[in-house]
Amino acid sequence: MRHVSVSLVLVAVGLTAAFCVVVLLGFGFRGPGIADTEPALSVATWIDVAQGTGARNIVSAIYLNVRLFDTILEVLVFSVAVLGVHFYLTARGRPEPVESIPESSVVRVAADLLLPLILLIGLYVTVYGHLSPGGGFSGGVIAGTGLLLAAIVLGTKTVTARLGRRLLDRLEWITLLGILIVGLVPAALARTPLVDLLPAGSPGRVGSGGSILLYNGLIGLKVFVGSWVIIRHFVDHRGEI
C-alpha cells in the first residue's frame, strides 16, 4: 500500500510541475524587474469575468475559473497533509485494535436522524457551490463530519469495512489526479483555464457555470475522502472513539 501511495504522489507532483510550466508559459511568465505592460484588473473587470462564467457565486467563479491554478495547488496542499498523516501514522505500526465504546441510545438515535441530513447538506453545499455560498471544500468537510458521526456510533472498524479501506485510500489520489487532468487538459491545449468542459447552461440553474460544477464535485469527493482518511488514522492510532 505504501509504495503505491509513493508512486501516486510522484505522478501527482510530476503532473503538477508540468501543469505549472504549461500555465506559466501560457500566461507568459513575468519575473521580478520585468515591466508589466498590462494594467491591473479592476474589481469591475473581475466581476465581469465572474459573471461571464454563468455562476451566481462570484467567489466560486473566480477560484474555480480564472484562479483555478491557485486552487489546484491548494488541493495539492491538502493532499500532502493527508499523505503526511497517512505516512507518519502508518510508520508507527498498527496498534492493537481498541473496541469502540458503545454510545448511549441518545447519541445513536440522534445520529440516525442527523447522518442523512449532514450528508445531504454536504452534497447540497458541493453541488450548489456555483449558485450559493459553499463549494467542494466546505461540502466535503461537512460530509466528512457526517462520517465522523457514523464512526462515533458504529466504530471506525465498521464504517471502514462498509466503505472499503483500499477504495477510500485510492479514491483520495484518483480524485486528485482527476482534478489535475481536468485542469491540465485545457491548459495543454493552449487554452487558458477559462475553458469550460461542460456547457455553460442558463445562469441560476444547477447545470450552469460550466466546469465549476465538475471541479466542485471532484474537490468535494476528494476532501470528503481525505478528511475520513485523517479521522480514521487518528482514531486507529490514538485510541477509541
Partner 1 sequence: MTARWVLLALLPFVAGIALLQRRRLYAIIGMGLFSLLLASVFFLSHAPDVAITEAAIGAALATFIYVLAIRKTGRLTVAASEVPGLIERVGEEISGLEWEILDRAAASLGLDLIVRFQPLEDVKTSLLRGEADVGAGGLIPIEENERLLQTPEHLPTARFRVWGPAEEASSRLAPFRGDLSDLIDTARRGAPLAVELDLARFLAVSRYNLDAYRVAKDEDALSYTFLVSASQPDIHRRLTNLLTDLRSSGDLETMIRRHFP
Which residue in 187, 174, 171, 163 sits closest to 66, CA to CA?
Answer: 187
Which residue in 42, 81, 83, 49 sits closest to 65, CA to CA?
Answer: 49
Q: Please report the sign of the dihedral spanned by the C-alpha atoms of residue 28, residue 32, residue 33, residue 39.
A: positive
What single letter denotes the amino acid at residue 57? N
Cβ atoms of residues 215 and 179 within 8 Å: yes
Decide: is 111 part of the binding site for partner 1 (CB under 8 A). no
Decide: is 126 part of the binding site for partner 1 (CB under 8 A). no
Residue 150 CB, shortest distance to partner 1, in Å, is 13
Instruction: Please give the size of the binding site for partner 1, defined by CB under 8 A.
Output: 23
User: Between 26 and 124, whose beta carbon lies closer to partner 1?
Assistant: 124
Largest CA distance in the chain: 67
Decide: is 115 part of the binding site for partner 1 (CB under 8 A). no
Query: C-alpha grid cell for residue 1?
Result: 500500500
Work out which of 30, 108, 165, 238 binds partner 1, going by CB under 8 A.
Answer: 238
- Binding track over 58-87 against partner 1, x by CB under 8 A: -xx---------------------------
Decide: is 125 part of the binding site for partner 1 (CB under 8 A). yes
- Binding track over 127-156 against partner 1, x by CB under 8 A: ------xxx-xx--xx-xx--x--------
CA–CA gap between residue 230 and residue 240 (Å, rounded): 14
Kindly identify the residues of this chain, within the stretch 205-234, that bind partner 1 according to CB under 8 A: 227, 230-231, 234
State the alpha helices, DSSP H only, in the chain: 2-27, 43-52, 58-61, 68-91, 105-127, 136-154, 156-163, 165-188, 212-238
CA–CA gap between residue 167 and residue 200 (Å, rounded): 33
Cell 449532514 locates to 118
Decide: is 93 part of the binding site for partner 1 (CB under 8 A). no
Decide: is 53 part of the binding site for partner 1 (CB under 8 A). no
User: Between 33 and 239, whose beta carbon lies closer to partner 1?
Assistant: 239
Decide: is 178 part of the binding site for partner 1 (CB under 8 A). no
Residue 40 CB, shortest distance to partner 1, in Å, is 22
Give the footprint of partner 1 on this chain (CB under 8 A).
57, 59-60, 125, 133-135, 137-138, 141-142, 144-145, 148, 227, 230-231, 234-235, 238-241
